[in-house]
Amino acid sequence: MARWEPGARERLQAAALELFAARGFEQTTAAEIAESVGLTERTFFRHFSDKREVLFHGQQQFLQAFVDGVETAPSDASPLEVIASALQAAASFFPDERRPFSRTRQSVIDQNPALQERELHKLAGLVTTVAGALRARGIGEPAATLAAESGATVFGIAFAQWIREGERRSLSEISSDVLRELLYLAGAATRPASLS
């Protein structure tokens, strides 16, 4: 019978990330990850369907946090106010304690084209889901998709800044700053006659 290993999941995840970063994702096997923390390959596969899942398993909760932020925004909020609410909800998914993990995870992904594709796919899924949640609030197209894409863009830029070495601001603060920059860019661009 399978023995319950307290904290096995977290230990496997930390060990996997360390090995991926040191040796490369492709060069690391599930058995090696398990062995490095004194567990069996079988235990690994009880927690993760494959080694990629170590990097992507929080995905559904992250998506849900983003969507919760859309759904809990005040009913009279404008599309980009709804996005601001979603960005704050998504940021709460990444407290500062998680920054070193997120930083290492990103460096592993940046080194592997297949993982990059998966990450892009995840962001595309985020846009589709959030646009649907905006339409459910009565926001039409193309406003819903534009707002959802803008939210994903702001999140992506803010996240990349958050994991930069030396950055001290929280993801929530950076997201607000980047969203404000987008509003400023768009605001500055409405003035010239050439765009109107």
Interface contacts to a copy of itself, rule CB under 8 A: 77-81, 84, 116-117, 120-121, 124, 142-143, 145-147, 149-150, 153-154, 156-157, 161, 178-183, 185-190, 192, 194-196
Which C-beta is closer to a copy of itself: that of 58 or that of 125?
125
Render 156-181 in DSSP notation, one character per residue.
HHHHHHHTSTT--S-HHHHHHHHHHH
Q: Where are the alpha helices (DSSP H) in the chain?
A: 8-23, 30-36, 41-47, 51-56, 59-71, 79-91, 99-110, 113-136, 143-162, 171-190
- In the complex, least distance from residue 193 CB atom to a copy of itself, rounded to whole angstroms: 10
Which C-beta is closer to a copy of itself: that of 63 or that of 182?
182
- In the complex, least distance from residue 15 CB atom to a copy of itself, rounded to whole angstroms: 29
- In the complex, least distance from residue 67 CB atom to a copy of itself, rounded to whole angstroms: 19
Q: What are the tokens at 152?
A: 């994903």
Q: Which amino acid is at 35?
A: E
